[in-house]
């Protein structure tokens, strides 16, 4: 086997490993965790105050986007007083589980 | 007379407030301006790549809010920053109106938490 083929194989393995790291959340565990979320995200047409705009629909949202959003609140890349506080209470596994459950709700 | 004026002004305020909430974007114009969005967010607003959010059926005013946040840097995303740079306030209203009016896979959490159903 040439060196190039070996490199390709290594790259493919790395890629596979990276993709299988996420998207393995536990939906049932996620469902238990989103009880708090429903206080705002479970009320159709509910609006955030100061500034006033609707709280987004998150059931059926894409999995990795949910993960990125929650991690963003944790790291401070994304800011929202309530969501910053909520995200701080979540472990990395909690986030995977929440994302798995929410994305499974797509209509 | 005084009462009538008071009532009328209440009516005017209400009418004004409700038009604000309805957000007067033009979906047809929005579709034209949204052409660059489709590559990642899908023509139907339901992104296939799970790292990008579904926009179809999301609240109009939420989408407008987010686009403004990307524009003023409050929300930091290099791709979206570039995309919104050329959008006017009217463009933002139009694009948000277009995506929010599409058939949706999104929902609120109502009926989806433990103990429901």
Chain B residue at shortest CA distance from A99: B50
- Listed range (A61-70, A86-95, B16-25, B68-77) with the worst mean pLDDT: B16-25
Which conformational region is residue A60 in: left (phi greater than 0), alpha (psi within -120 to 50 degrees), or beta?
left
Q: Residue B61's closest CA among A56, A69, A83? A: A56
Closest residue, chain A, to B109 (C-alpha): A42
Q: Which domain holds residue A31?
A: 3-104
Cα separation of B59 and A89, whole Å?
27
CA B61 – CA B93 distance, rounded (Å) = 8
- Which residues of chain B does A65 touch, with a Cβ-Cβ cutoff of 8 Å? 47, 50-54
- Entry pTM: 0.79
Q: Taking 70 as the threshold, does the pLDDT of residue B63 lie above it? A: yes
Residue of A nearest to B106 (CA): A60
Q: Six-digit token pair at B70? A: 């990307």
CATH of region B25-100: 1.10.760.10
The total domain count for chain A is 1
What mean pLDDT is predicted for residues B40-53?
96
More confident residue, B117 or A102: A102
Contact B53 A54 (CB under 8 A): no
* Beta-carbon count within 10 A of A61 CB: 24
A25 token code pair: 């959340």
A14: domain CATH number is: 1.10.760.10
What does the pLDDT average to over B55-82? 95
Please indicate if any CB of chain A lies within 8 Å of the CB of B72.
no
Cis check: omega of the bond before A51, within 30 degrees of 0: yes
pLDDT tens-digit series, residues A48-101 = 888 899 999 999 999 999 999 999 999 999 999 999 999 999 999 999 999 999
Distance in angstroms (rounded) separating the CA atoms of residues B64 and A100: 27
Residue B72 has pLDDT above 50, yes or no: yes
Chain B residues whose CB is inside 8 A of the A103 CB are: 50
Integer Cα distance of B22 and B7 in angstroms: 23
């Amino acid at each position: 086997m040439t060196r190039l083929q070996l490199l390709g194989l290594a790259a493919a393995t790395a890629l596979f490993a990276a993709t299988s790291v996420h998207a393995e959340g536990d939906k049932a565990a996620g469902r238990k965790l989103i009880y708090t979320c429903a206080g705002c995200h479970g009320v159709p047409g509910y609006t955030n105050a100061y500034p006033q705009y609707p709280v987004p629909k998150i059931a059926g949202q894409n999995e990795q986007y949910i993960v990125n959003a929650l991690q963003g609140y944790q790291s401070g890349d994304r800011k929202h007083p309530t969501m910053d506080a909520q995200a701080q209470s979540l472990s990395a596994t909690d986030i995977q589980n929440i994302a798995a459950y929410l994305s499974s709700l797509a209509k | 007379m005084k009462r009538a004026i008071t009532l009328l002004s209440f009516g005017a305020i209400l009418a004004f407030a409700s038009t604000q909430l309805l957000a007067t974007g033009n979906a047809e114009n929005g579709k034209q301006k949204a052409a660059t969005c489709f590559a990642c967010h899908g023509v139907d607003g339901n992104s296939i790549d799970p790292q990008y959010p579904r926009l179809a059926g999301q609240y109009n005013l939420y989408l407008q809010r987010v686009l403004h946040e990307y524009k003023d840097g409050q929300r930091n995303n290099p791709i979206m920053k570039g995309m919104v740079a050329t959008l006017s306030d009217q463009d933002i209203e139009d694009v948000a109106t277009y995506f929010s009016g599409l058939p949706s896979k999104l929902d609120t959490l109502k009926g989806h938490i433990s103990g429901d159903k």
